[in-house]
Amino acid sequence: MDPVQIFARVGGVTYRSMDADRAFEVWVHLARSAGWDVVEIPADSMADDPTDLGAVMVEGIKYRIRFSPRVRRLLADDSTGHLSYRDALGFAAWAEPDLSAN
């Protein structure tokens, strides 16, 4: 599996900063488990971009790890007194090649 195909499904359908912190670690773990040599780049996050969790090097290519609603989740809703389910987007971390680093 290519690094851009790895999704760390962490968190629910609303943003929580502790989920974002954990999402970076989970993505790195999943990439390493898939056999990639991942090197974390400390303190390399873009403070002005809330979706940016930081950066990693994967076998010579720099990737930005992003966190936003990205994966389908089934959401249970009983607000009307009747249980129903609907699709919603849940938060996940994923890798995006950093083309400015080339």
Strands 38-41 and 52-58: antiparallel
- Domain region containing 17: 3-101
* 3-state SS, residue 47: coil
Domains held by the chain: number: 1
Structure pTM?
Answer: 0.81
Written as tens digits, the pLDDT of the chain (102 aa) is 899 999 999 887 777 776 888 999 999 999 999 999 999 998 777 777 888 999 999 999 999 999 999 888 877 888 888 898 888 888 999 999 998 855
Q: What pLDDT does 34 receive?
A: 96
Distance from C-alpha of 91 to C-alpha of 39, rounded to nearest angstrom: 23
Q: What is the CA radius of gyration of the chain?
A: 15
Identify the helix (H) or strand (E) that includes residue 33: helix 17-33
Distance from C-alpha of 13 to C-alpha of 16, rounded to nearest angstrom: 9
Q: What pLDDT does 102 receive?
A: 53
